[in-house]
Amino acid sequence: MLLLLAQAQQFAFAQPATGKQMKTPWAKDAARTIPLNEYPRPQLVRGNWTNLNGLWDYTIQPKNKGIPDSWKGKIMVPFPVESVLSGVQQKVGPDSLLWYRRTFRIQQNLAGKKVLLHIGAADYEATVLVNGKPVATHKGGYTAFSADITASLKGGNEELLISVWDPTDHGEQARGKQVTHPGGIYYTSVTGIWQTVWFEVVPETYLQSWKTTTDIDQSVVTIRPRVTNAQNNDSVTAAVFFKKKQVAVATVAANEILRLAIPGAQLWSPDKPVLYDVQLAIKRGGKTVDKADGYFGMRNIAVAKDAKGVNRIFFNHEPLFQYGPLDQGFWPDGIYTAPTEQALVSDIRNMKDMGFNMVRKHVKVEPERWYYNCDKLGLIVWQDMPSGYGEIVPVKDHDHSTEGDWMATHYQDVVRSAASEQDFRDEWSSIMQQLHNYTSISVWVPFNESWGQFKTNEILQWTKALDPTRLVDGPSGWIDRGEGDMHDYHLYGSRLDKDFPLENNRALVIGEFGGLGYLDSLHVYDGKVWSYNGYKNTGELLKAYEALMNRIAILKEKGFSAAVYTQLTDVETEINGLITYDRIRRKLLMNQLKQLHGRLYVNGHKELFSSQP
């Protein structure tokens, strides 16, 4: 499967840290005083906030040592310590703790108010102290966490300490494709803070969160607010705006459910990503106690039968073939962290310009601003749960199944410890809750292939119960157990040429295929590179890609509803991308790709798509 293509000289840059030095065009902008200074939580926006990104003190020391009494140097937060942009580029390891320190001041009167500290993500287990007092601990490298630090403040300079421990591939925790020794389809690990650290000042009674659900058939949006420290007779008012004009308003008692009718509701789709603005406010005695802004899109996704009785994925009650790339979300200079907002958005714009209408976010969770921009630009998202490996990979038997000689039809579920299972459930449910309000997310993917599968059907059913408004892929690739909304095949190489039986209750999708590699010798991360299939020039690459598109078009007519191409960009030594890892070179022309992809969205047999669910 793996093809070693070439040896290439490493591209070197002058940097304060040693090691691999490939940069993106945005690297120079990442070193500003406050990197990634955009508001980090687009679905609950307040104005009274402070970004704590920038230079912090750091040190690495054994786990059994206490609070550091000296510091090794400076690190640029929120870039992982292993990254070039952190200014450190050093591994930590499972026997050590990474410590951070900085001071800050709050320049306002806090009478009757609270200060909430937020950390977008820290991989993997974090402990937070303010002025020497513990205020939070958190496990999970992909979810945000917060702490009310009001009682720990002393006025003047406040000291913030954060320690992070990460076992990488020495533990059972979710870690996606991070490994200690990267190569092939596994990449450099990240440790510590990798998303924005910030604080906000809120009143004693405040909006902690809300959950938005839309019903396009009833033209209704339902909002479930969560109010902290609500008092008797407090109310919550929601006002909905379209193009700055108020179109709906409703008021309920605090923590009750708001239900708002949206007149003439316009629907969100990849071609027309219509969004409504919403403002929630807590009222007490006619006065506003707290308010925050967000948004939502009206859309629906479901599996239903077409006129010929074939299960298809319908979007807003219309059949829509979903086609997009596998997107791993790695960067050569920031690893898990994009250098700037512009860099983050550039990947989404590239996908839209290439004519994709969907993306599979592969075993990684992005900062919330990534999903916000998918919402704004119109890109459907399939969201994976980051995988774990090692001892939690199931036993495989050799057979001659339709999915390949090396795959298993006889299998044994992974046996997890009770603590490991609970960690999985806690983090996956937290991911789903944190991202629930982002319109673009349409499919949840709890398992990638057999990586860490356990209680497979139970987990798929549980995921669907947590969010019945979206589809559940189950699992992506193998080992399929008959559950979920889709039967997902991974079809690299000649496996794409096979025919597959239709199912009574599930749609057929191709969760991965392709992997066409092309080496651009001027944009290489390391000397050794590989891909599933290698091509000598872009002409050969285009010809091979055209052949794949022809086959996908045939499979679409035979009953498939979606396909995911591997992949958007090169990642480290893997050169299967349509774009080089540094985001500088597009291997195929945008208009070529857009023209090829456009065929997939045309309904070649009109009668096939004549009914609606």
Mean pLDDT of 386-393: 63
Environment class of 108 (CB within 10 Å of its CB; exposed 0-12, middle 13-18, buried 19+): exposed
Residue 564 confidence (pLDDT): 98
How many angstroms separate the CA atoms of 549 and 482, rounded?
28
Give the residue from 488, 489, 461 showing the smallest Cα distance to 473.
488
| Greatest pairwise CA separation for the chain in angstroms | 73
- What percent of the chain has a predicted confidence (pLDDT) above 70? 91
Complete DSSP assignment for 214-244: EETTTTEEEEEEEEET--TT-EEEEEEEETT
Mean pLDDT of 324-338: 98
How many angstroms separate the CA atoms of 300 and 92, rounded?
44
Residue 417 confidence (pLDDT): 85
Structure-token match 């070529």, residue found: 592
Residue 435's CB is within 10 A of a number of other CB atoms, namely 21
Residue 522 confidence (pLDDT): 87
Residue 438 confidence (pLDDT): 98
Residue 443's CB is within 10 A of a number of other CB atoms, namely 26
Amino acid at 302: A
How many angstroms separate the CA atoms of 192 and 370, rounded?
20
Give the residue from 10, 391, 53 showing the smallest Cα distance to 199.
53
Give the global pTM: 0.93
pLDDT single digits (tens) 20-48: 679 999 999 997 789 999 999 999 999 99
Handedness of CA 554, 557, 559, 563 (dihedral sign): positive
- Helix intervals (H) in 360-508: 368-377, 418-435, 456-466
Residue 529 confidence (pLDDT): 87
Q: 3-class SS at 20?
A: coil
| CATH code, 301-609 | 3.20.20.80
Residue 607 confidence (pLDDT): 31
| CATH 2.60.40.10 domain span(s) along the chain | 206-215+217-296
How many angstroms separate the CA atoms of 212 and 295, rounded?
9
pLDDT single digits (tens) 363-378: 999 999 999 999 999 9
pLDDT single digits (tens) 445-486: 999 998 888 899 999 999 999 999 999 998 999 888 899 999
With 90 as the cut, is the pLDDT of residue 59 above it?
yes
432 pLDDT band, cuts 50/70/90, is very high
pLDDT single digits (tens) 176-212: 999 999 999 999 999 999 999 999 999 999 999 999 9
With 80 as the cut, is the pLDDT of residue 3 above it?
no
With 90 as the cut, is the pLDDT of residue 243 above it?
yes
Between 532 and 329, the higher pLDDT residue: 329
Between 255 and 4, the higher pLDDT residue: 255
Burial 88-97 (b: 16+ CB within 10 A, else e): bbbebbeebb
Which helix (H) or strand (E) is 28 found in, with range? helix 27-30
| CATH 3.20.20.80 domain span(s) along the chain | 301-609
Give the residue from 378, 401, 563 showing the smallest Cα distance to 473.
563
Question: Nearest 5°: phi and psi at 455?
Answer: 40, 50
Mean pLDDT of 55-64: 97
389 pLDDT band, cuts 50/70/90, is low
Mean pLDDT score of the chain: 91
Mean pLDDT of 440-449: 96
What class does CATH assign to 54-195? Answer: mainly beta
Please tell me the total number of residues recorded for the chain in this structure.
613
Amino acid at 121: A
| CATH code, 206-215+217-296 | 2.60.40.10
Complete DSSP assignment for 343-374: HHHHHHHHHHHTT--EEEE-S----HHHHHHH
Is the distance from CB of 515 to CB of 544 less than 8 angstroms? no
Burial 170-196 (b: 16+ CB within 10 A, else e): ebbbbbbbbbeebeebbbbbbbbbbbb
